[in-house]
Structure 1
Amino acid sequence: MSEGPRDDRRATAAESGPHRPGPLGRIAGWCFRNRGRTVLLWLLAAVVAFGLSAGLGGKYSADYTAPGSDSKQAQQLLARDFPGLGGEAVSLVLQSDAGLTDGATREKVRGLIARMSEVPHVGGVDDPFGPRGKVSPDGRTALGQIHLDVANAPDMPKADTQRLLDLARAADGGLRVHLGGMAVQQAEQGAIGSEGIGIAAAAVILVVTFGSVVAAGLPMLTALGGLAVSSALLPVLAAIMPVPDWSTSLAAMLGIGVGIDYALLLVTRFREWRAEGLEPEAAAVAALDTAGRAVVVAGMTVVVSMLGLFAMGLSFMRGAAVAAILSVFVVIAASATLFPALLGYLGRHIERLRLPLPRRRASSAGPAVGSGWLRWSRLVERHRVLGAVTGVVVLLALAAPFLGVRFGFPDAGNDPADRSNRMAYDAVAAGFGPGSNGPLVLVAELAPGAPADAATSLTAALRAAPGVTAVSPPVPGTDGRSLLLTVVPDSGPQSGATKDLVRDLRDRVIPAAAAPGVQVHVGGATASAIDSTDNISRRIPLLVGGVVTVSMLLLLVAFRSVAVALKAAVMNLLSVGAAYGVVALVLEGGTAGQLIGIDNPTPLPAFVPVLTFAVLFGLSMDYEVFLVSRMREAWLRSNDNAESIVSGLAGTARVITAAAAIMVAVFAAFVPAPDLPIKVIGVGMGSAILIDATLVRLLLVPAVMHLLGRGNWWLPGWLDRRLPQLHVEGHSESYQPQAAPAELRSPAVVG
């Protein structure tokens, strides 16, 4: 082992005189002394950010199609050769129990179409009774399309979609009109102030944790300062690159949760140093020079994890990743500068406005004798084997439901039954069959000189293919270079049979029937969802491998331990797997699903577990850094593995528990969100943090580290000499006003 040379370096540092604070400590000292300037700079940054947003901000947009896929090529040909058909569309569904064939009803429909055509962004409306419309065999249901001039649903202003919905609801005389599609779904979802709910819950937890309104207010002010700047910069980012609209919720989740957590850790260390007798400025410098290093490393693990999303090769993933990274960077900057500036104003009054709760003396020397967390630490030490086995078994049991998860994109059939989008979906399924809700759009590209009847054999082959209910006659493009066909499956968009049909058409039916010089591409929303899911699934190993490898290297450099890096990777994978299991359970639509508004079995969008993996792996590393940095700090002081584990766990369990409770509250506030991906991300992240901060960090990690013994801190000598020294644990011994009393170094109290 290489701990011997490190002990020598420690002794040399102790004998060399007063410790010079690191960069974070020096920044903290400057901000503390120049608190007014620092706060004004942050206010100026917020004003500039809002000004840039107002002047340069762009619209949120996202392209969920798989680059280079067959469906993507079909979409591009639609946009080129069929103007008005390549963009977003809204389904226009008519119903009447008395039938739709009489002249009066058709006159009402013509008037409705005329009024809808005047709504902004409506490029045209297909008459349900015209050549592009459909009437059910019983004459009670008719289907048309409202073509929008926007490429994607997020680009359609909700106010304009609401105008279409108002026109549909105004129908009378026995005529029922339902609108469906992504634009309608977004307009009907509305919004919930999840950020406000999360902040309020976090404030309550902080006040209970610290027992002081002033101490609780510091993390809140730091996080809100960072959130104000980062949220204002997101529209500017959207003007530079495609950013999905839901990335604002993701960035808010991270900004609020991570910002409060980081400041919570810093407040805890500041109070400990104040309890040791340091003046406010010295305590602020010491807090940033010790816990501040852990905050930076923790933040960088989140950034590294989000950078892994670039491996997916999807523009909307890159946009979401950059939005999250921007939020985390601003939070780190606020923790390093705004927080010590606020301490300059409130540091001497940190214990003011206390609640009538039992007081607890903070100390950097270790947990108090007889504290509950110290007793828990000793219990885990005594039952290390049972703790390790129990932790692994419970995590695997929680992950088990994920084995049966069904990937796909939720559609209108998963919406609440009282929404127009769902009613349109049900009406189409009842009148025309389930496949009419997800028709396949085939675009045949004709080579120069191809015969006019080039698609005749193709049409016949498509109609004879198993699983096909209907095929529309070919429609030529504007310049005759392509033909458009619509294929209606006999199964719904989420059915496995529809996925098999798409593959059968591409692999067997089309190659055998297409005439020479004819290239046929299968597109449409259903085919695009299938291609996107397959594309993401193929790239998941790149994401997992890249994020895990880089995170392990970062931890290896931070803690100079092979075991710590390997253990963190394995346990984070276990906790992420358990969170996936919880998500799969609620998506089944049973009792667990109904608690959060999921009434029927719902597929899981493939990008959701990818996104949550990147976020959760980074956040799980946060708690690993908080916990192990204190263990390593104790190890470097005592060279006693068992006592360093007990000390680190007992000294950080309270702050980790409070930080996790805040993060869970922030993520849980997004569960009521009407947008299913945000709802599922909230469930996954909230459950993951709860599992990680309790079962993993408070039981499994210390149990395994007790089993590994001194091997926890092993690093090959050749590697020790080559790795840079980060000193993530800081130099806490340099800030001690005096040596700790002998009784604090006894087995009963860890120091």
Structure 2
Amino acid sequence: MARTAVTVRAARWSAEHPWRAILMWVVFVAAAVGVSTVVPKQETSDADYRTGESGTAAQIIEDAGLEEPPSESIIVTSDAEQLDQATAQSAVKELRTGVADVDGVESVGKAIPSEDGSALLVPVTMAGDEDDAGEHVDGVLDVTTEVAAAHPDLQIGEAGDASVDDAIMERVGEDLSSAESMSLPITFGIMLIAFGALIAAGIPVLLAITSVVATLGLYAPLSYLAPDDGTVANVVLLIGMAVGVDYSLFYLKREREERAKGRSTLDAVEVAARTSGHAVVVSGFAVMVAMSGLFIASDVTFASLAAGSILVVGVAVVGSLTVLPALLVKLGRWVDRPRVPFLWRLNRRIGKGGIAGRILGPVVRHPKRSAIGSIVVLAVAATPLVGMKLEQGSLETLPKDIPAVQTLSQIQEKFPQDADTVQVAVSADPDTIDAVTGELRSIEKEALAGDDFATTGADQLDVAEDGSGAVLTLPTTHPEGSDANEQAMLDIRDQVGQQPGGDLEGTEWAVGGGVGQTYDASHHLSERLPWVVGFVLVLTLVMMLVMFRSAVLALLTTLLNLLSVGAAFGIMTLVFQNTWAESLLDFESSGSIIDWTPLFCFVVLVGLSMDYHVFVLSRVREGLRNGLSHRAAVERGVRDTASVVTSAAFVMVSVFAVFATLSMIEMKIMGVVLATAILIDATLVRLVLLPSLLLVCEPLLRGFGRREARRGSPEIETEERVPALV
């Protein structure tokens, strides 16, 4: 071997020192877990989400010291049309007395009645910042629960930023535990069916689990560069289980295949390293390149998801190239023990690519018809994509069975002034502050004259003590996330943008608040979307061009990615923008898709689809370099990889489908989209569309795979026996 691939060198070292390789992996995982116990994970802060004009407004408010302290609200209602005031006031008195004694509570306001008299609202001001409020809000909730138990004829609930955030994080943790408990046995069951032997089935699952555990530990120091927004653990589990099992499966299947040809375990490991090992490296790099496109979005959520995903893919690749060969060498033929009699015989009877061979027959005989038919099917599935409506996550998209969410919805219904807000912030100095406050009063008067804003009964204009700034807070009358709120905010921005000079020169004006933040974040994402998509498509195209040295093949890869993703997104729109699947998936449709999920799913799918694509095309090129005709190489390459691709796809589909059962709508969307896309990609695309297009484009692909073997491409293995490793 004139040139030895890195994958082969890694396999050789692991084969020669198996116990060292295994011990090093164990130490690595343990050290990663240890890191997470020593280094606290960095969470995102409100400042991390600032963007656009609303971000400027938030910064002005912070610099002027005009930030509102964290607060909670306790609502008292009953089933009756009118609230029994005597009973309600008694409960309010108990609430105010009990909550005032809770550590971290700064003050408890007087009860505020609703306009219709059916509810009372007790405002609670927390001390410190949002983090401090999160630490002490449980005490307020405990008092609320005790008083509610003492007054069963009343409905008493608490909601606020801290309590809702805590409830959501608790639900996310429950979802993560549920996903782990469901995905592991399902994955092991699929591996058992694929291999028919317990040890062989357990190895991919073990590698995937340890990769996920190590990644979650290593992410702690990385979170200081990409803070966790609360979803990283979910995504690491989602991606880690999928790629960890896939990479082990590619490697292990090839090693077993070579042993079945009569090679020794050492020889089989080296062949697997030279072929499947190289495909794993390329596929892993493709996933990491695709995920890196999320950094272009300049969004803290995407940055954390990209960092976690790239890290878990890298760890899984390293594990498949080091500890996996060591395990295979130490276990030898014990990998196929103990056998499950029925499953083992079934695998032997079906053989390699048995089912795929039946599908491939008509495809090979009629490639043009197969290609046109597949493209039509995918195009029809993608049709609903035209009507996709993207909106930011809001109260309406949160699980309705969370008590804090139910309470917050009730508060916004009974007290509209506690819903979304628009804030006009001004940075000034003592010489201009009088003119600024005068202009803000004019804006307030004009805004309250319409139907878009409400008054709270308190002064809505707050001025800094040193005269460095002022902020006008205007509560909206429309439900959170409504188009009317957005238009009202834009009208205020137009008005502020026309501020005259004179006494107002040297001031900085910005309109933000909750409505502005939602609007700016959505538009920021829309502006970045084309750049992210273009970056991912161009880089994956370049990767295919470099690896296979064929522009036609690189363009075909891009076409296949777009078709499969488009079909999956069409199904996503059909499912989540309508109500017909609500009972099936246990969700309530908001008539839209949460805006960040399609972009994240796009980069994940482009990366993951490269797994199968590279694996299949590598086997096709291997056949061509071994002297097969173009047609025979395509047919054999697809058939020989069919069982691996199918098994890997079933693992991914099952893991992703588990996420569709979770309560958070974002997880449901990702689960359905990823499971659907992988299923389409592994069946219709890889078994029908890819081989048919390769055959149809044969005149344009004559150089593919025909270059001299002396180029030494590390993923190609000839039929000659490979020298033993030791």
Which residue pairs with 1:597 in the alignment? 586
Displacement after TM superposition at 1:341 (Å)? 0.8
Alignment partners' CA distance in 2, 1:286 and 1:49: 31
Which residue pairs with 2:661 in the alignment? 672
Q: Does 1:711 align with 2:700?
A: yes
Is the 1:408–1:530 Cα contact (8 Å) retained in structure 2? no
Alignment partners' CA distance in 2, 1:402 and 1:90: 40
Which residue pairs with 2:310 in the alignment? 325
Alignment partners' CA distance in 2, 1:320 and 1:286: 35
Alignment partners' CA distance in 1, 2:110 and 2:591: 30
SS at the partner of 2:156? Answer: strand
Which deviates the most, 616-625 or 292-301?
A: 616-625
Which deviates the most, 661-670 or 232-241?
A: 232-241
Which residue pairs with 1:390 in the alignment? 373
Displacement after TM superposition at 1:732 (Å)? 3.5
Displacement after TM superposition at 1:661 (Å)? 0.4
- Aligned-pair identity (%): 28
Which residue pairs with 1:8 in the alignment? none
Which ranges of structure 2 fall in alignment gaps of 5 or more residues?
A: none
* Residues 122-162 of structure 1: per-residue CA shift (max 9 Å, x gap): 46456254xxxx54222333446545568668x975x7544
Which residue pairs with 1:166 in the alignment? 142
Q: 1:543 to 1:554 in 2, by over 3 A?
A: same
Q: Does 1:526 align with 2:523?
A: no
Q: 1:464 to 1:555 in 2, by over 3 A?
A: same
Which ranges of structure 1 fall in alignment gaps of 5 or more residues?
A: 1-17, 738-751
Equivalent residue runs for 1:518-557 within 5 Å: 519-557=508-546
Is the 2:619–2:637 Cα contact (8 Å) retained in structure 1? yes
Displacement after TM superposition at 1:594 (Å)? 2.9
SS at the partner of 1:735? Answer: coil
Q: 1:415 to 1:316 in 2, by over 3 A?
A: closer
Q: 1:587 to 1:179 in 2, by over 3 A?
A: farther
Is the 1:461–1:513 Cα contact (8 Å) retained in structure 2? no
- Aligned residue identity for 1:49: A
Displacement after TM superposition at 1:516 (Å)? 2.4
SS at the partner of 1:638? Answer: coil
Which residue pairs with 2:613 in the alignment? 624
Displacement after TM superposition at 1:361 (Å)? 8.1
- Aligned residue identity for 1:516: L
Q: Does 1:506 align with 2:482?
A: no
Which residue pairs with 2:278 in the alignment? 293
Which residue pairs with 1:237 in the alignment? 222
Q: Does 1:482 align with 2:464?
A: no
Is the 1:547–1:614 Cα contact (8 Å) retained in structure 2? yes
Match of 1:516 among 468, 491, 504: 504
Displacement after TM superposition at 1:329 (Å)? 0.7
Alignment partners' CA distance in 2, 1:716 and 1:443: 64
Q: 1:715 to 1:376 in 2, by over 3 A?
A: closer
Which residue pairs with 2:481 in the alignment? 494
Q: 1:40 to 1:358 in 2, by over 3 A?
A: closer
SS at the partner of 1:673? Answer: coil
Match of 1:138 among 111, 116, 121: 116
Q: 1:135 to 1:317 in 2, by over 3 A?
A: same
SS at the partner of 1:484? Answer: strand
Count of residue pairs brought into register by the alignment = 704
Q: 1:183 to 1:441 in 2, by over 3 A?
A: same
Q: 1:430 to 1:241 in 2, by over 3 A?
A: closer
Which residue pairs with 1:645 in the alignment? 634
SS at the partner of 1:443? Answer: strand
Alignment partners' CA distance in 2, 1:395 and 1:413: 32
Q: 1:390 to 1:478 in 2, by over 3 A?
A: farther
Alignment partners' CA distance in 1, 2:464 and 2:83: 31
Displacement after TM superposition at 1:476 (Å)? 2.3
Which residue pairs with 1:284 in the alignment? 269
Which residue pairs with 1:274 in the alignment? 259
Q: 1:505 to 1:126 in 2, by over 3 A?
A: farther
Q: 1:654 to 1:410 in 2, by over 3 A?
A: same
SS at the partner of 2:392? Answer: coil
Q: 1:336 to 1:562 in 2, by over 3 A?
A: same
Q: 1:106 to 1:705 in 2, by over 3 A?
A: same
Is the 1:247–1:323 Cα contact (8 Å) retained in structure 2? yes
SS at the partner of 1:94? Answer: strand
Displacement after TM superposition at 1:36 (Å)? 0.9
- Aligned residue identity for 1:166: D
Is the 1:440–1:487 Cα contact (8 Å) retained in structure 2? yes
Match of 1:660 among 629, 649, 653: 649
Q: 1:571 to 1:145 in 2, by over 3 A?
A: farther
Alignment partners' CA distance in 1, 2:133 and 2:380: 43
Displacement after TM superposition at 1:225 (Å)? 2.6
Which residue pairs with 2:330 in the alignment? 345
Which residue pairs with 1:732 in the alignment? 718
Is the 1:289–1:730 Cα contact (8 Å) retained in structure 2? yes
SS at the partner of 1:468? Answer: coil
SS at the partner of 1:591? Answer: coil
- Aligned residue identity for 2:580: T
Equivalent residue runs for 1:109-124 within 5 Å: 109=92, 111-113=94-96, 115-116=98-99, 119=102, 122=104, 124=106
Is the 1:62–1:316 Cα contact (8 Å) retained in structure 2? no
TM normalised by structure 2 equals 0.89
SS at the partner of 2:659? Answer: coil
Match of 2:241 among 232, 252, 256: 256
- Aligned residue identity for 2:146: A
Alignment partners' CA distance in 1, 2:228 and 2:711: 37
Alignment partners' CA distance in 2, 1:650 and 1:663: 20
Is the 1:289–1:731 Cα contact (8 Å) retained in structure 2? yes
Displacement after TM superposition at 1:468 (Å)? 3.3
* TM-align CA RMSD: 3.2
Q: 1:91 to 1:439 in 2, by over 3 A?
A: farther
Is the 1:410–1:603 Cα contact (8 Å) retained in structure 2? no
- Aligned residue identity for 2:9: R
Displacement after TM superposition at 1:25 (Å)? 1.4
Displacement after TM superposition at 1:93 (Å)? 3.1
- Aligned residue identity for 1:640: S
Which residue pairs with 1:312 in the alignment? 297
Q: 1:236 to 1:100 in 2, by over 3 A?
A: farther
Alignment partners' CA distance in 2, 1:638 and 1:259: 33
Which residue pairs with 1:93 in the alignment? 75
Match of 2:232 among 244, 247, 251: 247
Is the 2:622–2:705 Cα contact (8 Å) retained in structure 1? no
